């Protein structure tokens, strides 16, 4: 890997190497820029470090304490964050549905929430096409929701596991359409530039931990090796704490701590891609890019209720890709009379597999089981299947992130996150609860129980057109700091009723392209990932 002296003035520093940072890092390096990525976590080697053991992979999660407040406090750790080169993609489930165009028009369609300052067809769809080919997304030949695709998925869908088959059965009984889900995991081997051959998925079920054979398209086996091959440097175990600025307010250097030593990297531009908790925390620590007073505000989290049931037949919930089957018939759902539902937005349905330790911990929290009752319930683990939603969430004034008075192990203020569901989220969740229970009843489930949860912290540095109401413009550029760009799910104006990873990557490539065009970087022209 090419290295750069810290005293050199680099073209760009990228903070974070997850779905937001890694794609643009590769794009900038492919354009010939001198660029360094700073990552708080370690540089893991999947084949050596990602054991087939659920407990040993806790090191992949951002386990620093975050303070949760509000009526529906958000769980962190394994739920919403990751650490290591690759960020949260090291342990994401690789579920990669596309947004639908009306996801970007929530305020136009419903009169509440926020619209995106982007157009689906011109600003996002082309990057979906590019990403799905580059990552090797496996998906169905025909997908019944959203705009017709211009290109088919590169690979056919992964095998449907036990939970997926039961969801298909229950939905069919109720007249709900289903489809094999799009997953960024290979159903056939693929050669990856800068990495080598990635193997096909072996269905070992460890997607929510680390994939050790490269089948899952995490950033460490896709964009990171591509970036390194084209001259980018990735510095691991580097926690950014401060920014140096000149008299015009431009950032001139990034200050970080590596192995207990404070260092500084001089640069011309900064791309902040640390996620919807660490990005606003870093901005607030430095009183940066917050003239609008919107940093940390407008926090959202997907409502993600899970419904579990037990079945007569063996399910083996640890086998296969966790999210094997999807339905978007509830994208804009109706009530029992066939009219519009009594809430804004919608949700998707997906089948879910689960590893045993995760399932046991959820039963302890969700059902209060312990001791003999827990042992008895876990004896039926191989007959368990789950179904869940990923639902819209509106931005509210009462949901936000702030710096607390408590300090972490590094002496920095811990983030405190306030979250309470609004009436809209309560109604959406109630609608989904009834529907999912009906699906499982139709599939033959017994001992059905619910595990309420939230997923994906979103929206704490949102994009927009009005600098008084947003932190960055439509290209991810700060309104206040001309050489600062933000690219992660903190800039989402709305939650979207789909998993965010693919859209974060699309915005990352778009931000890089807009930056390269604005800076007139033409050493190699505008790079593309896949031909």
Q: How far apart are the first and last CA of the chain?
A: 25
What band does 123 get if pLDDT is binned at 50, 70 and 90?
very high
**pLDDT over 80 at 193, yes or no:** yes
pLDDT tens readout for residues 78-106? 666 778 899 999 989 899 999 999 999 99
Lowest mean pLDDT among 231-235, 338-342, 431-435, 459-463: 338-342
298 is written with which tokens?
């407008």
What pLDDT is stored for residue 530 in this prediction? 41
DSSP state of 120: I
User: 37-47: per-residue pLDDT in tens?
Assistant: 999 999 998 88
The rounded percent of the chain whose pLDDT value lies above 70 is 97
Cα 293 to Cα 402, 473, 495: the distances in Å are 12, 15, 20
How confident is the model over 178-199, as a mean pLDDT?
96
Rounded CA separation 229/1 (Å): 8
Q: What is the reported pLDDT for 291?
A: 97
Q: Is the per-residue pLDDT at 521 higher than 60?
A: no
Burial class (CB in 10 A: 0-12, 13-18, 19+), 469: middle
Confidence tier at 523 by pLDDT (50, 70, 90): very low
Helix (H) or strand (E) holding 234: strand 233-235
What is the average pLDDT across 241-252? 96
How far is it, in rounded angstroms, from Cα 66 to Cα 89? 20
Q: How far apart are CA 35 and CA 109, in angstroms?
A: 41
Q: Are 297 and 460 in contact (CB under 8 A)?
A: yes
User: Is the model's pLDDT at 247 over the cut of 60?
Assistant: yes
Q: How confident is the model at residue 529 (pLDDT cuts 50, 70, 90)?
A: low
Q: Is residue 522 very low, low, confident or very high in pLDDT (cuts 50, 70, 90)?
A: very low
Contacts of 342 (CB under 8 A, 6+ apart): 335, 427, 431
Res 76: pLDDT: 84
The string of pLDDT tens digits covering residues 257-269 is 999 999 999 999 9
Q: Does residue 531 register a pLDDT over 80?
A: no
DSSP 478: B
- How much is the pLDDT for 205? 85
State the Cα–Cα distance between residues 24 and 217, nearest whole angstrom: 16
Tokens read off for 527: 């790079």
Mean pLDDT in residue range 393-410:
96
Alpha carbons 91 and 56: distance in angstroms, whole number? 13
The whole-number pLDDT of residue 54 equals 81
Residue 338 has pLDDT above 90, yes or no: no
Q: Which tens digit of pLDDT belongs to each residue from 357-392?
A: 999 999 999 999 999 999 999 999 999 999 999 999
pTM here is 0.96
What's the mean per-residue pLDDT of the chain? 94
């Amino acid at each position: 890997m090419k290295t750069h002296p810290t005293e050199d003035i680099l073209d760009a520093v990228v903070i974070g190497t997850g779905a937001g940072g890694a794609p643009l890092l590769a794009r900038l390096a492919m354009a010939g820029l001198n660029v360094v990525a700073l990552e708080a976590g370690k540089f893991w080697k999947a084949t050596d470090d990602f054991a087939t053991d659920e407990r040993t992979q806790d090191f992949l999660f951002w386990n620093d304490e975050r303070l949760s407040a509000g009526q529906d406090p958000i769980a962190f750790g394994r739920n919403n964050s990751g650490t290591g080169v690759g960020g949260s993609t090291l342990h994401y489930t690789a579920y990669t549905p596309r947004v639908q165009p009306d996801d970007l028009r929530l305020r136009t369609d419903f009169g509440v929430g926020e619209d995106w300052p982007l157009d689906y067809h011109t600003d996002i769809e082309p990057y979906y096409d590019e990403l799905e080919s580059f990552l090797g997304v496996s998906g169905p030949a025909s997908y019944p929701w959203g705009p017709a695709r211009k290109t088919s998925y590169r690979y056919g869908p992964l095998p449907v596991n036990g939970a997926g088959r039961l969801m298909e059965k229950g939905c069919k009984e109720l007249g709900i359409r289903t489809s094999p889900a799009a997953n960024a995991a290979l159903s056939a081997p693929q050669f990856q530039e800068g990495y080598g051959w990635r193997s096909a998925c072996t269905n070992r079920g460890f997607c929510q931990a680390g994939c050790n054979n490269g089948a899952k398209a995490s950033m460490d086996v896709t964009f990171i090796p591509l970036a390194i091959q084209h001259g980018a440097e990735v510095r691991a175990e580097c926690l950014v704490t401060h920014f140096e600025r000149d008299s015009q307010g431009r950032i001139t250097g990034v200050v970080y701590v590596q192995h207990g030593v404070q260092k500084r990297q001089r640069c011309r531009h900064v791309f902040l891609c640390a996620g919807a908790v660490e990005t606003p925390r870093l901005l607030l620590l430095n009183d940066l890019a917050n003239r609008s007073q919107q940093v940390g505000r407008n926090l959202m989290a997907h409502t993600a209720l899970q419904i579990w049931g037990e079945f007569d037949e063996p399910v083996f919930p640890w086998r296969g890709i966790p999210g094997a089957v999807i339905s978007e018939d509830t994208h804009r759902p109706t009530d029992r009379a066939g009219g519009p539902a009594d809430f804004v937005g919608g949700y998707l349905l997906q089948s879910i597999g689960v590893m045993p330790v995760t399932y046991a911990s959820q039963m302890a929290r969700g059902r209060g089981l312990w001791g003999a009752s827990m042992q008895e319930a876990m004896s039926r683990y191989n007959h368990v299947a789950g179904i869940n939603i990923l639902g819209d969430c509106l931005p509210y004034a009462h949901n936000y992130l702030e710096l607390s008075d408590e300090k972490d192990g590094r002496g920095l203020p811990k983030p405190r996150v306030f979250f309470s569901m609004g009436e809209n989220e309560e109604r959406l969740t109630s609608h989904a609860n009834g529907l999912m229970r009906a699906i499982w009843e139709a599939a033959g489930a017994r001992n059905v129980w619910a595990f309420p949860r939230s997923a994906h912290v979103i929206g704490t540095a949102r994009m927009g057109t009005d600098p008084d109401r947003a932190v960055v413009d439509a290209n991810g550029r700060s309104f206040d700091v001309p050489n600062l760009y933000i690219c992660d799910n903190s800039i989402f104006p709305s939650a979207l009723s789909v998993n965010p990873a693919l859209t974060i990557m699309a915005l990352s490539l778009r931000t890089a392209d807009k930056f390269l065009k604005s800076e007139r970087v033409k050493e190699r022209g505008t790079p593309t990932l896949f031909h």
